[in-house]
């Protein structure tokens, strides 16, 4: 039998059991979308380099974007952009000391979610329209 002294006290569970809430979920979403955007920044460089290299390289990258998986990733990227943008604006208000009533926290949280979906849809519709 181990004695109290020889045994480390267990740590009570944290993320394993704590209930996901709009507060914590949007916080982690803001981080994840930030990481996704960094990856897309790299892709943007690839896209621009391809455009500078020549028509053939550009056509290759364009065909990747146009593929089924490319389109899927683009929607994800656009959604990440708007989610991170709206979340960032929400944080700016907080940093200025506004919007800390619990009801406001939840209202602005849902507003960020809804706005991100709407803006992603609008961007998609616009780009489809412009591409003909």
Partner 1 sequence: MTEDKRSPFLIESSDQLPRVTVLKRFPLPRKLGVGKESRIGKGKRWPLPATAAARVKTFEIYRYDPDSGDNPVIDIFEIDLDDCGPMVLDALIWIKNKVDPTLTFRRSCREGVCGSCAMNIDGTNWLACTRYIAETDGSATIYPLSNLRIIKDLVPDLTHMFAQYSLIEPWLHSKAPAPERERLQSPAERAELDGYYECILCFCCTSGCPSHWWNGDRFLGPAALLHAYRWLIDSRDEATGERLDDLEDPFRLYRCHTILNCTRTCPKGLNPGKAIAEIKKMIVERTG
- Smallest distance, Å, CB 73 to partner 1? 22
Residue 5 CB, nearest approach to partner 1 (Å): 10
Q: How near is the Cβ of 92 to partner 1 at its closest, in Å?
A: 11
Shortest approach of partner 1 to residue 117 CB, angstroms? 15
Q: Which is nearer to partner 1, 17 or 131 (CB)?
A: 17
Q: Which two tokens stand for residue 26?
A: 């949007």
Which are the contacts of 30, defined by CB distance < 8 A and separation ≥ 6? 83, 84, 87, 88, 91
Residue 21 or 60: which CB sits closer to partner 1? 21
Residue closer to partner 1 by CB (options 99, 121) is 99
Residues that bind partner 1 (CB under 8 A): 1-4, 7-24, 27, 91, 94-97, 100-103, 105-107, 110
Based on CB atoms, which residue is closest to partner 1, 35 or 44? 35
Quickly count: other Cβ atoms within 10 Å of residue 113's Cβ.
Answer: 17
Q: Which of 111, 108, 84, 82 is nearest to 96 (CA)?
A: 108
Would you mind telling me the total number of residues written for the chain in this entry? 132
Residues 6+ apart with CB under 8 A from 70: 64
């Amino acid at each position: 039998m181990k004695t109290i002294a020889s045994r480390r006290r267990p740590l009570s569970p944290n993320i394993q059991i704590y209930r996901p809430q709009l507060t914590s979920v949007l916080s982690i979403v803001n981080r994840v979308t930030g990481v996704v955007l960094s990856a897309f920044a790299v892709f943007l460089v690839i896209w621009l380099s391809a455009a500078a290299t020549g028509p053939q390289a550009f056509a290759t990258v364009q065909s990747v974007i146009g593929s089924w998986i490319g389109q899927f990733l683009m929607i994800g990227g656009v959604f990440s952009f708007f989610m991170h943008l709206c979340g960032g604006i929400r944080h700016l208000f907080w940093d200025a000391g506004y919007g800390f009533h619990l009801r406001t926290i939840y209202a602005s949280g849902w507003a960020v979610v809804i706005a991100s979906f709407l803006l992603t849809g609008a961007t998609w519709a616009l780009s489809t329209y412009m591409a003909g």
